[in-house]
Amino acid sequence: MSQTVNPVIRLREVSLRIPVISDQSRSLKASLIRSVTGGRLLQSRGGPEVLALDSVSLSIAHGERVALIGHNGAGKSTFLRLISGIYKPTAGELEVSVPVFPMLYKSFFTSTELSGLQAAKAHYLMVRQSLQGFDEYLDAVVEFSGLGDFIRLPIKTYSDGMASRLLFSILTSFSHDCLALDEGIGAGDAQFFERAQQRLSDFVAAAGTLILASHSDHLLRRFCTRGLVFSAGKVSFDGPLDAALAHYAAHNVQAA
């Protein structure tokens, strides 16, 4: 178990089981389930379940920049959703002492029926507890995201790139205590991705804690100093980033 002084996130033997809900669940093959989730298929009285996280113990301190490394389905996104409060552990203890804001593609939006303006207003109210200064904030979000008048349309009408640009612009307009980030920012828009990296650099410099899941060594080395290697829902390595990347490569973990 990784020991950290005054951790803001601590997991003790945390596991997460996700039920497989399907009319054909009895006929689903274990190999198919594993190929989709990366977890281990279990049988219970209530039906098949996937062990998405398995006995994970670690701590993360304020200000750390932590990389999550592993192939698709290894447990990285599940871990981000867990520490963000989207999932609850089914076993073990999870302690989170700071708000963790998830930037996980569209999962931040409670409803894609909302307009971009409504989503920005909801987040601003949650953070500031009032709408004082909101007009200036909205102008900054529109300018950085490049959405223009689309900000007033429902998010469900956005392309993936537009939705991720809006989400990134909303979340990084404040200095959050902790940001859980999947690398899918500025999808399909190389120019925005470059600007997003600079803005993320500014965010990290503002002393927020960053937990970043990515397949890009370059991106991880730019922002992170510690690496967690995930495999089949377990953390197989926890240490300095270069050592974590070397461990991942040496053990021939399947690349995404």
Question: Residue 240 maps to which CATH number?
Answer: 3.40.50.300
Q: How far is CA 200 from the centre of its chain?
A: 14
Q: In whole numbers, what is the pLDDT of the chain averaged over residues?
A: 83
Q: Tell me what pLDDT residue 34 has.
A: 46
Q: Helix or strand or coil: residue 30?
A: helix
With CA atoms as reference, report the closest residue to 207 among 176, 185, 239: 176
Q: Tell me what pLDDT residue 137 has.
A: 96
pLDDT tens-place string over residues 73-94:
899 989 999 999 989 999 999 9
Q: What is the mean pLDDT of residues 120-133?
A: 92
Cα–Cα distance, 209 to 72 (Å, whole number): 24
Asked, for residue 189, whether it belongs to a domain, the answer is: yes
Q: Tell me what pLDDT residue 190 has.
A: 66
Q: What is the mean pLDDT of residues 169-192?
A: 74
Q: Tell me what pLDDT residue 36 has.
A: 45
Cα–Cα distance, 191 to 170 (Å, whole number): 18
Asked, for residue 55, whether it belongs to a domain, the answer is: no
Asked, for residue 46, whether it belongs to a domain, the answer is: no
Query: Does the pLDDT value for residue 68 go beyond 80?
Result: yes
Query: Does the pLDDT value for residue 32 go beyond 90?
Result: no
Asked, for residue 146, whether it belongs to a domain, the answer is: yes
Asked, for residue 211, whether it belongs to a domain, the answer is: yes
Q: Tell me what pLDDT residue 197 has.
A: 76
Q: What is the mean pLDDT of residues 83-106?
A: 88
With CA atoms as reference, report the closest residue to 146 among 130, 134, 131, 163: 163
What value, to the nearest 5°, has the Cα angle with vertex 149 and ends 195 and 133?
A: 75
Asked, for residue 105, whether it belongs to a domain, the answer is: yes
Query: Does the pLDDT value for residue 236 go beyond 50?
Result: yes
Asked, for residue 11, whether it belongs to a domain, the answer is: no
Q: Tell me what pLDDT residue 33 has.
A: 46
Q: How many domains are contained in the chain?
A: 1
Q: What percent of the chain has pLDDT over 70?
A: 80
Structure tokens at 115: 């307009």
Q: What is the mean pLDDT of residues 115-140?
A: 94
- Report yes or no: 66 and 228 within 8 Å, Cβ to Cβ: yes
Cα–Cα distance, 197 to 60 (Å, whole number): 23
User: With bands split at pLDDT 50, 70 and 90, how would you rate the model's confidence at 186?
Assistant: very low
Which residues, at least 6 apart from 95, have a Cβ–Cβ distance to it below 8 Å?
A: 7, 9, 10, 11
User: With bands split at pLDDT 50, 70 and 90, how would you rate the model's confidence at 108?
Assistant: low
User: With bands split at pLDDT 50, 70 and 90, how would you rate the model's confidence at 64?
Assistant: very high
Asked, for residue 139, whether it belongs to a domain, the answer is: yes
User: With bands split at pLDDT 50, 70 and 90, how would you rate the model's confidence at 241?
Assistant: very high
Structural domain including 198 reads 62-250
Which residues, at least 6 apart from 153, have a Cβ–Cβ distance to it below 8 Å?
A: 115, 116
pTM: 0.77
